[in-house]
Amino acid sequence: MKPAYEHVEFADNCSVRVYHRKLPRIPFEWHRHPEYELTLTLNSQGKRYIGDSISDYHANDLVLVPPDLPHTWSSNRSIDASAQQVAVVIWFNGEWARRLADCCPEYAALRALLRRAACGLAFEREASTLVEVKLDDILSAQPRVRLGATLDVLCALADAPGHPLASPASFRQGDNGPTGHEPERFARVLATIETRFADALKMSDLCSVANVSERSLSRYFVRHLGESVGSYIARTRIGHACRLLSDTQLPVSVIAARSGFPNVAHFNRQFKALKTMTPSQYRAQFPAGAWREERAPELTERPRSLDG
């Protein structure tokens, strides 16, 4: 099941675009786009698909999705059956956000937030109130008011509790690794893992790529990626397996081999440890027959969207 490409069009005088979506249910629309997306979902419950992460979501769900990471929400049931489900979606370009963080110390927090959201970031319930209290300004007809409210929310979210969603292999952001802002020598390590994850990678091989010691490489991964080298490689392999499970009907044994696992039993154990379900159960989470659907290469522009 390939994600459709969604074209997000910004007005000439706007840096953000806000979409206020109200509907009886949220359909499964697997898609991606090159912008960051902050989505607050209200009066809705169902499943949230962010890259290879599939989770149940409930009221006041708040998620920041990075560029080119496939995603969708899917719900057939409102929490309050008498009211519509609501999604407030904010799209913005990471390039100007990073430039703003570089030149204005007041917005330095943006850099930290975008780094945290490299694989998608789901915030805890309390964080959604940061968006809710700003909703009037976020939905304002005035572009400058919308931008100011968005910046306030993003900076406030920089330190808000949350957890990453997708594995590094869920999407590609170029040859510079999951953030695109790694030092060159470590970017080479990340690129090597991405292209050779199915091989029996050794720590010594990766150290040679970066010309650093094992200790330095290990410290870098823990400090900047929050996990060990081995854990990162395992998540990359499982992420690749998830793509094959959702995009193809290949047998699990073939997927295990293509993802770098020596046997199916080991693959099943590693997969369940990371995803809390078996590969077959993961595949079954996607709507029946969805992988066969012929989807248009570009989603049409959605209505009821504010210019921006």
Whether the per-residue pLDDT at 12 is higher than 60: the answer is yes
Residue 296 pLDDT level (bands cut at 50, 70, 90): very low
Q: Where does the pLDDT of residue 300 fall: very low under 50, low under 70, confident under 90, or very high at 90 and above?
A: very low
pLDDT at 173: 42
| Most confident by average pLDDT, 52-61, 89-98, 214-223 | 89-98
Report the pLDDT value the prediction gives residue 175, as an integer from 0 to 100: 36
Pick from 78-82, 111-115, 292-296: least confident: 292-296
Residue 90: half-sphere exposure toward Cβ, Cα within 13 Å = 28
pLDDT at 156: 94
Average pLDDT over residues 222-230: 81
Q: Is the pLDDT reported for residue 299 higher than 60?
A: no
Domains and CATH numbers, the chain: 4-166 (2.60.120.10), 172-290 (1.10.10.60)
Please give the average per-residue pLDDT across 244-252, as a whole number.
Answer: 88
Q: Check residue 1 and give its pLDDT.
A: 65
Q: What is the pLDDT of residues 16-25, one digit of tens each?
A: 999 999 999 9
Mean pLDDT, to the nearest integer, of 120-129?
92
**Residue 306 binned pLDDT confidence (cut-offs 50, 70, 90):** low
**pLDDT mean across residues, the chain:** 86
pLDDT score of 151 more than 70: yes
pLDDT value for 59: 86
Q: List, for residues 260-293, the tens digit of each pLDDT value.
A: 998 999 999 999 998 889 999 999 888 764 544 3
pTM (whole model) above 0.85: no
Which pLDDT score is estimated for 103?
94
Residue 169 pLDDT greater than 50, yes or no: yes
Provide mean pLDDT across the span 114-143.
Answer: 92
pLDDT greater than 50 at residue 92: yes
* Average of per-residue pLDDT across 159-178: 67
Q: What is the mean pLDDT of residues 183-195?
A: 82
Structure tokens at 205: 């091989």
